[in-house]
Amino acid sequence: MTSIAFIAPDGTRYDIDAPNGSSAMENAIRRDVPGIDADCGGACACATCHVYVDEPHLALLGKPEAMEEDMLDFALDVRPQSRLSCQIRIRPELEGLVLRVPDRQA
Ligand code: FES
């Protein structure tokens, strides 16, 4: 398990023990984090799992794949720290990962 957290637009923090190998999105759905709808079920085809990744973990994630990059064009309020949470695979190095849900998504 790896400890991660989602922060909803209203500031509510969801601390989650996430199984390694799961996607960040799957954990958000399990905890009903508002604003993470994941309409496509993790197929990188909807952008409704958009999050902002805090440093220092953003650097650890590396660059998004081309497919994720393309899909982020459909997300709202995209920033340099934007990622699709279905493409973030939980692993021990991501301990303490904080993901913020964009305001306009909730
Ligand atoms: S769940 Fe659809 S792009 Fe992530």
Please tell me the distance from the alpha carbon of residue 72 to that of residue 48, in angstroms, as a whole number: 10
pLDDT band at 93 (very low <50, low <70, confident <90, very high): very high
Cβ atoms of 82 and 52 closer than 8 Å: yes
Q: 83 C-alpha to center of ligand 1: Å?
A: 10
Please tell me the distance from the alpha carbon of residue 20 to that of residue 25, in angstroms, as a whole number: 13
Q: How many domains in the chain?
A: 1
Structural domain includes residue 105? no
Give the domain range for residue 19. 2-100
CA-closest candidate to residue 76, choices 46, 32, 43, 54:
46
SS3 52: strand
* CATH for 45: 3.10.20.30
Answer yes or no: is the C-beta of 64 below 6 A from any ligand 1 atom: no
SS3 26: helix
pTM flag (> 0.85)? yes
> pLDDT of 48-90, one tens digit each?
999 999 988 999 998 999 999 999 999 999 999 999 999 999 9
